Amino acid sequence: MRVVDLRSEPVIDANGEQIARRGTIQDITERHAVEEALRASQRQLQVITDSLPAMISYVDTDLRYQSVNKTYEEFFQRPRETIIGMRIHDLVEADVASMAARQIQIALAGTPTSTDVTRTYPDGLTRDMSFNIIPDRQRDGKIGGVFMLGIDITERKAIEDALRTSQNEMRTVLDNVAATISYIDTNLHYRFVNQALATMLGLVAEDMPGMSLHDVVNEQMFKQIEPWLNRAMAGEQVAFDIERTYPVVGTRDMNLSFVPDFDATNTVQGLYILGTDVTWRKTAEEKMRVSDTRLRLVTDHLPVFIGYIDPDMRYRFVNEQYETTFGRPREEILGMQVKDVIGAERFSMAEPYLRRGLAGEQVKVEVPWPVHEKAHSRLLRTIVPDFGPDGEVLGIFVMAQELGQRDGVNDTAEDQND
């Protein structure tokens, strides 16, 4: 089948009468096929653009709409037939139209551009829109108009605003905790630093994201923490104490925790680094060590038993006299029940007085102290309760001095309390 273009016209004589008709026949089969294909393509394009959740339009060099999709109709609540041919200034508010015209002129000059717009549409809702404006460059190189693609980003903007608010709130909290907090990625670049750490480093927290860990710690310090870093990057949560010198606060004892951050595939994507200044604790521990050394130096040279017993009747401190008398190192005695250290017979004699001390009474008493089956000594035992801030008895100090050896085993205790 062929498609032809048949045209005819009358033939008029000198008297003005039609005497015949002459015509032409042109085979336009190929042209008709091309035009039909073009119409089909335009219909397909219209169906596709009408199905997209975006505002799509074509604006010519006179800033008149030449085509719009269904979303455009819905946004403006007008049929597309009434929009096509209108100028932008006839459809939208003057300020929005002026801004759009400036962006379109940039695109008409050959440069793609984009812009975000917030406006209230005929349905009464205010929406945030993002428009991309793309030049339509024709075969001769001239630009015949622009394609405008608008996407509703209202929900995205709301999520971004909520996230920004949440991040600001979180930063406010993290900047006011008494700890250093930071986050590094697997390339050891900072992604977050709180104010406490930035202050100790003499830096600005907002300037630190993107900096490398190597920019913040020297090579010697990095070598110290590298084994812990490797373990944490492998997925293990680790904690350790380390001494570090900071530019602003000087040398501090820090407890650092490396906490892996896993993604949805359980792969480590970074580390949270939490630091607590434990200088006070280290200082206190050192003072306690010195104090304990001095206490042992004094108590170990006294010819008396000196110990501390908790409410469970377990030794928490003993002097050298216990080691010598009972043949056990003090490390072994500490934590043992009194009965298991001094023996059942001696414990039966001492228990009533120990109980009185744990009840809050200060006790001073002479008691028999068996040496062997046919001889014994006497001990002057002093028991002093250790009261906590709330008046609760935390334990008892026990001091016992041997008064001398006597024959016989039937002596009785003599309570010397007033």
Locate CATH 3.30.450.20 in the chain.
53-157, 177-282, 300-415
Residue with tokens 């440069």: 111
Mean pLDDT, the chain, as a whole number? 83
pLDDT in tens, 321-349: 888 888 889 899 999 999 999 888 888 88
Share of the chain above pLDDT 70, in %: 84
CATH architecture of 53-157: 2-Layer Sandwich (3.30)
pLDDT computed for residue 367 by the predictor? 74
Amino acid identity, position 307: G
> What is the spatial distance between Cα 122 and Cα 75, in angstroms, rounded to a whole number?
7
Q: Is the pLDDT of residue 372 over 70?
A: no
Q: Which of 50-54, 167-171, 345-349 has the highest mean pLDDT?
A: 345-349
Superfamily of domain 177-282: PAS domain (3.30.450.20)
Q: Which fold has domain 300-415?
A: Beta-Lactamase (3.30.450)
Beta pairing, strands 55-60 & 65-68: antiparallel
Q: How confident is the model at residue 227 (pLDDT cuts 50, 70, 90)?
A: very high
pLDDT computed for residue 409 by the predictor? 43
pLDDT computed for residue 408 by the predictor? 44
Instruction: Using CB atoms within 10 Å of the CB of residue 189, give its burial: 0 to 12 exposed, 13 to 18 middle, 19+ buried.
Output: middle
Q: Is the pLDDT of residue 296 over 60?
A: yes
pLDDT greater at residue 314 or residue 372: 314
Q: How confident is the model at residue 11 (pLDDT cuts 50, 70, 90)?
A: confident
Q: Is the pLDDT of residue 148 over 60?
A: yes
Q: Find the mean pLDDT for residues 261-270.
A: 92
Dihedral sign for Cα 212, 213, 215, 216, please.
positive
- 24, 2 contact by CB (below 8 A): no
